Homo-oligomer: A and B are copies of this chain.
């Protein structure tokens, strides 16, 4: 049995994963159209990236007639988890709390969101 340590996607790969997570399934054309909304990018560039992601098993694909339909293999949650852990280590020397405090201080957070977070804090405290 092979055990794969999860692969950290590059920045460009993450962009594509975001689109696949949002769309569920998509062709290279669709992904490229989405990417093109925010920046200039050639079709074959996107194609190549998605081929690489296929080799790395970040995405799967099925033959749909002449073209391929891609889908993310890695989940949004597990990828966020992986990247978040690395980010906290690299940028906040491992302190999730420090990062949380900065994030809440920097960004605009609604009362509703604040309450959600409070509820989570209560649950964490109860559980420990």
Contacts and interface: CB of A to CB of B under 8 A. Distances in A.
Given A84-B102, A84-B103, A100-B103, A90 B121 contact: no
B81 A106 contact: yes
A85 B114 contact: no
Interface residues of A, number: 40
A109 interface: yes
A101 interface: yes
B99 A103 contact: yes
B102 A80 contact: yes
Nearest to A101: B120
A88 interface: yes
Contact of A109 (B83, B97, B102): B97
Interface string A93-105: 1001101111111
B124 A91 contact: no
